[in-house]
Structure 1
Amino acid sequence: MKIIKENINLIYILFGLLYFIFKVIWYICDFVYFRGVILGLIATVLTTFIGILSFRKYKKAVKPVTHCLAVLIPLIIIPLTPIIMIHNLGSEIFQIEKIAILIIFEGLAITQVILGIVIIKRRKL
């Protein structure tokens, strides 16, 4: 438990990297289109960048803003993911393999929201 508390930002970054890793794996398995991989890359870059900036040891003045963005960016990803998938796939979204992808990405975003809240609460300590 102590390791998790000390490395919460690294865990946040890891979950951000999982967006792209999962998208590439599903692209190889032909479950996701290339546009989906690009959108996963955008989510990965944003969340990784925010995770790096919100490190506790980072002494810049923008630290409180990045802590709030650590929650805000995944909150933006949560509604955008199904909207983009429905727009790109249409009724195919309701197939088992596509809905599983949606559930996993929503789970990643929700986990990042929770980790972002922990980062904010830790900042106040």
Structure 2
Amino acid sequence: MRALIVDDSSFIREYLRHLLDRMGIACEEAVDGSDALAVLTDEKEFDLMLLDVNMPVMNGLECVKALREVKLHPEMKVMMVTTEADNSFISMALNNGADEFLMKPFTPESLREKMMLLGFCRLTPEGS
């Protein structure tokens, strides 16, 4: 399984990579939505994109909308990783192609729960 982590914060990218590595998931990184689309255009296969919302150049909402409009990696799940808790924003993101939300700050357990909701059921708590 492969994931693309998209966040302008190197700390968040490193933390997510660490958590996903522990789940046996290979990761690549991008610093904003535009960078993510460039990585995805290189025809690398990804199962999941963890996408921040508030980023410079191209934000997460613009990225997921562009991704879904051009049908780039249509089977890939997109999890928005954000501090945005407004219901109208969440609805807009889901309508534009996001599959799930992970609210910052998050714990390893909340990430694992969201991964399972997305259908990655083989992921179990550490030590299980």
Same fold flag (TM > 0.5) = no
**Could you state the TM-score of these two structures normalised by the residue count of structure 1?**
0.27
Q: Report the structure, 1 or 2, having the larger strand content.
A: 2
**Could you state the TM-score of these two structures normalised by the residue count of structure 2?**
0.27
Q: Report the structure, 1 or 2, having the larger helix content.
A: 1
Larger Rg: 1
